[in-house]
Amino acid sequence: MSLNQSLNYLFPGKSEVLKRGVFRHRKRKRQQDQDPPPRALIRSYQDFDYCRSYNNDAWERDDFFYFSKDDEIFWGFSTRPLSRLAAWKAALKRISDERIFPAIPKDTHTALTVVPAEVLASSRELFHVKHVNLMDYYYFRDIPMRRFEFLAETLIMETLAGPNAQVPPHPNIIRYHGCRVHRGYITGIVLERLEYTLYKYVSQPGFRTLDKKAFIAKLRSAVDHVHSLGLAHNDINPSNIMVREIADGQQPEPVLIDFGSRGPFGCEVWSQGTPGWYQDEFSTSEKKLDLYSLAKVEKWLETAGSPDEV
């Protein structure tokens, strides 16, 4: 699959996207919404992903999600404290696939790399499965952009780091193993598992001996590689940089992650970067955004972990 084919499919203009049905809203009864959750498989609160919402520092609501082994997603929420696990189970409802997952594209030259379930199960400690962003699902339950952005990130990773990519993968961009597919939908992006973001690595012993100049040089090389393909990352910050620790006493390496805000230069973007890590609000993908953020990361790294850090 060529990069140009993926970009032409993803970013032809909103009207063409609408014609293809990426933004299609199907007004029909979603039977999956009525499917009961596998309550017998939920044995503790640790089986849930959950987020807590506040309003003026006061607790407002809990949202909790359960992912089945086949990437069926069940969601529940409560505006009052639930002290029993049974109450969390009872609140769960299935989210239909078409609400949140992108369908496998049929009118593109994309050849998706699908990771078999048995491979994931046998080596789970080697992989991180990225799921669709469910932030604010309580307020936005059926927004096409959620599906489009997940599809876009999948195809970008195929072109940047997939086994069939025409451009050799860069060593400091997250390793992409493929995607998970269920029921005709892309349900997960399978990446290498790394333990620490740069932001968290500051508190680790290895940070004290980190060669910061070499680290930034490798990160800059990864960003230059992305730019050479006509793309901007648009959200470079210490939480989107992982640290790959190397055996035999070698220096750790930076790994650029999270291509959910990426896009060709000049293309409209639908999500802003991380507050505090871009200079001005923006609506298009630009190389200068990455250069500003990269310089800010370098400056932050100089004092990170020291008493003078702000």
- The model's pTM: 0.85
- CB-neighbour burial class of residue 305 (10 A; exposed 0-12, middle 13-18, buried 19+): middle
Q: Which residues of 39-72 are buried (b: 16+ CB within 10 A; e: fewer)?
A: eeebeeeeebeeeeeeeeeeeeebbbbbbeeebb
What is the predicted pLDDT for the residue at 104? 92
Mean pLDDT value of segment 2-23: 54
Residue closest to 251 by CA, chosen among 210, 212, 219, 221: 210
Q: Which residues contact 299 (CB under 8 A, 6 or more apart)?
A: none
Which two structure tokens, joined as six digits, stand for 308?
Answer: 């003078």
Determine contact, residues 197/256, Cβ cutoff 8 Å.
no
CA-to-CA separations, 23 to 4, 16, 239, 257, in angstroms, rounded: 22, 10, 30, 26
Which two structure tokens, joined as six digits, stand for 154?
Answer: 């999948």
Mean pLDDT, rounded, of the chain: 86
Determine contact, residues 248/239, Cβ cutoff 8 Å.
no
- CB-neighbour burial class of residue 274 (10 A; exposed 0-12, middle 13-18, buried 19+): middle
Which alpha helices (DSSP H) does 95-247 contain, by range?
A: 97-100, 117-122, 144-161, 198-201, 212-228
The answer, yes or no, to whether residue 1 has pLDDT greater than 70, is: no
At 26 the three-state DSSP class reads coil
| pLDDT, greater one: 7 or 64 | 64
**Fold for the domain defined by 196-303:** Transferase(Phosphotransferase); domain 1 (1.10.510)
Write down the domain spans for the chain: 9-22+30-192, 196-303
Please write the tens of the pLDDT for every residue from 58-71. 989 999 999 999 99
Please write the tens of the pLDDT for every residue from 106-135. 765 567 999 998 998 888 899 999 999 898
What's the CA gap between 143 and 134, in Å, rounded? Answer: 11
